Amino acid sequence: MSDTGTRVVEKSYRKKDWEAIVTGAPLYTQDLEPENCLVVKLLRCPYPNAIIEDIDTTAAMKVPGMEAVFTWHDVDQNMRRFTEAGQTYPEASPYDRLILDQHMRHVGDVAAIVAGKNEKCVDRAMKLIKVTYRQLEPVLDYTKALDNKVIIHPEDNWEGRDFANGDAKRNLCAHEESENGDVEAELSSCDIVIEKTCHTKAVQQAFMEPFCTWSIIDMYGRLLIVSSTQIVFHARRNVANALGIPVSKVRVIKPRIGGGFGAKQTSVSEMYPAFVTWKTKKPAKIVYTRRECQIASSPRHEMQVRVRLGAMKDGTIRAIDMYTLSNTGAYGEHGPTTVGLSGHKSIPLYHTKAFRFQADVVYTNEMSAGAYRGYGAPQGIFALENCVNELAHRLHRDPIDLRLQNTAKEGEIMPAYFGQKNTSSGLDRCIEKVREMSDWEHRYPCVKVNDHTVRSLGMAIAMQGSAIAGIDVGGATIKLEEGGFYTLLLGSADMGTGSDTTMAQIASEVLECPLDSICVNSGDTDTSPYDSGSYASSTAYITGRAVLAAAKEMRQRIIRRGAELIKSEESFCDFDGSKVSDGKQEVSLFDIVASTTGGNSDSFVVNASSSSAISPPPYMAGVAEAETDLETGKMKVVNYYAAVDCGTPLNPAIARVQTEGGLLQAIGMALTENVTYDRKGQVLENSFLQYKIPARPDIGQIHVAFASSYEDSGPFGAKSIGEVVIDTPGPAICDAVHNATGLTFTELPITAEQVAMGLLKK
């Protein structure tokens, strides 16, 4: 079977679970919980930095129905700490957490775990717990965190990774440096140097299904955890580390996920019911309130990115110098890994003679940040693309033509992308496609609608990666079953992305069977093959490669058995999905399967794993058309034009929906979404009444096209698509607003008030 076949791959199929989802079948974590679960809730600290001097649970435990209240007294404060980050071991993240700590490091940190028979008794008990706090001075300004006199993690058992270059005594979670060429020399020789500092605030993933987990002790005395998670294998390790028990004692299962977008790449909720169950041997469950999801979760990292970009008068970009300061919050989590993408997924967009990237990740007394679609790239791309658009304005150049002149081309080595070769790129075609889609030639930079309303265009480009090179592992197991169908076991997590369906399409393509003949089961640490998890844009590329390898091997085993049954040479035979034939004789798949169920010593269960030394970048170009009221400053994105190079779109309909969803989230980040703190460290946007995610009426039309390349190392030419689609709207919208108003913005979100005030000052 050729890798270039297109009988199933590259066609749009409905997601395998569509009917169950739209009919409301019980699929999600809360649907499946046992009836007798203890209700677990968390007593959260009201201060950003404090020591618990005393905690009295006597009155709480007298409430009828109460099972237990656990405090820092129930956890050895000198035990090895752990991380909640869902990353491959050894994690880059520091081990800086305890399940229950005497030291509270942000508003919402957990002071006590409260468990009872029902919600009513737990709520009553929580009000009766008396906690005496000794308040400490907090660090709430991340630009002043490094080497601050206030140390967020003074404990002796803080454990960092040498390669992350962290130093808790300096509030430094991680530090990174990389460069190629002589940046200072190149900048000094340039005709123009753009220097700009950009700021992107924290934003929430705002998924529909809150963090939720339940746990039981199974019949073998093991801890069984069922959770809405993207990372079953990492969650298993994290829970074992947190409880100080062997990993063999923990099993994690993922049902359907009601949205994750990276938030559930962190073990936010798993520890607490697991701790209760392990201590009491009773089933336990926790469901975060929306307020908890807003104040004690894992939002995108707030970052300050300083860029110096040097170019010649003819538009040639010669050098890029970037420094990123990232706010990881109270705990390290994804801090060391996220910050690198701000440079390594932005600078390589352009062919330069020299680059330098430096970054610091600092601790503060704010909620810890984590993974969110794009994982640091949106912050860096916003800053760099902002500078490129300014360069275009200064040179009076069309920003599309300027980018076509400077972008890295297929076949080139990209020093800022770890020296990797650009193995496939449709970026130039993406740029040309959005030029055409947006009618750029006639409508750039702006068109006046009436006396006070302007429609303007702005553009940006982006790249991402396809898994983490040399680290991420995808796994697939295919079983040939009675009746001639197949079971595909996966360790990845379909969190609404449709990955179960696209993986089944790969297997179906190779095995030449109907898509319904591939039954998918994913996300169980006991039965699934090891997979790093659904993050880093890894599933289509890495897990897809594993599925492709497993399906090819299964196909070959079927041919081998068929050849034996018809007494022919294996090399003379082929398989068409229903039978094996040598051109003269044939045997049906049904009969082949029947031959494996008795008197057989051959295995028709195939396991395959895949990793990759490279991470082929997907590319994207985007044009935002914004309508701005010059009297009120009110803005709306009336059209967004996007062209994506994800290699081969395995399922175009699913790829299109992925693109539309990512663009919508990015528009929210650019215009309405904002996580802010008051002087006491309290998150102000603690519900969807305050935290404004865009709804359908808030945006106009999203137009998506594909300008595909073919990635030889990917399954049927595929690269990733999940993250790159969120990267362009920020800088594109920013430039569109500039083209309407003449105002320059370096911070997201851009609000109507900022535009109105800027116009008044102007």
pLDDT tens profile 596-607: 999 999 999 999
**Three-class SS state of 636:** strand
Residue 697 confidence class, pLDDT cut points 50, 70, 90:
confident
Residue 6 confidence class, pLDDT cut points 50, 70, 90:
low
pLDDT digits (tens, 9 = 90+) for 630-642: 999 999 999 999 9
Position 1 scores a pLDDT of: 46
Distance CA 490, CA 471 (A): 18
Residue 3 confidence class, pLDDT cut points 50, 70, 90:
very low
Residue 695 confidence class, pLDDT cut points 50, 70, 90:
confident
Residue 621 confidence class, pLDDT cut points 50, 70, 90:
very high
- Stretch among 2-11, 81-90, 106-115 having the lowest mean pLDDT: 2-11
pLDDT digits (tens, 9 = 90+) for 103-134: 999 999 999 999 999 999 999 999 999 999 99
Give the pTM: 0.96
Mean pLDDT of the chain: 97
DSSP letter string over 90-138? Answer: SPSS-B-B-SS-SEE-STT-EEEEEEESSHHHHHHHHHH-EEEEEE---
**Three-class SS state of 469:** coil
Position 762 scores a pLDDT of: 82
Position 148 scores a pLDDT of: 98
Position 24 scores a pLDDT of: 93
4 has a pLDDT exceeding 50? no
Position 30 scores a pLDDT of: 97
As a whole number, mean pLDDT of residues 187-214 equals 98
pLDDT digits (tens, 9 = 90+) for 537-587: 999 999 999 999 999 999 999 999 999 999 999 999 999 999 999 999 999
pLDDT digits (tens, 9 = 90+) for 365-397: 999 999 999 999 999 999 999 999 999 999 999
Position 696 scores a pLDDT of: 82
Contact call for residues 646 and 722 (beta carbons, < 8 A): no
* Residues above pLDDT 70, as percent of the chain: 99
Angle at 230 between CA 329 and CA 327, to 5 degrees: 15
Distance CA 491, CA 493 (A): 7
Cα→Cα distances 757→175, 274, 631, 674, 753, Å: 38, 51, 10, 19, 6
φ, ψ of residue 220 in degrees (nearest 5): -100, 10
Residue 238 confidence class, pLDDT cut points 50, 70, 90:
very high
| Structural domains of the chain in order of their starting residue, each with its CATH number | 18-27+468-610 (3.30.365.10), 33-136+205-295 (3.90.1170.50), 139-203+301-372+385-395 (3.30.365.10)
pLDDT digits (tens, 9 = 90+) for 639-673: 999 999 999 999 999 999 999 999 999 999 999 99
2 has a pLDDT exceeding 70? no
As a whole number, mean pLDDT of residues 410-426 equals 97
φ, ψ of residue 571 in degrees (nearest 5): -70, -20
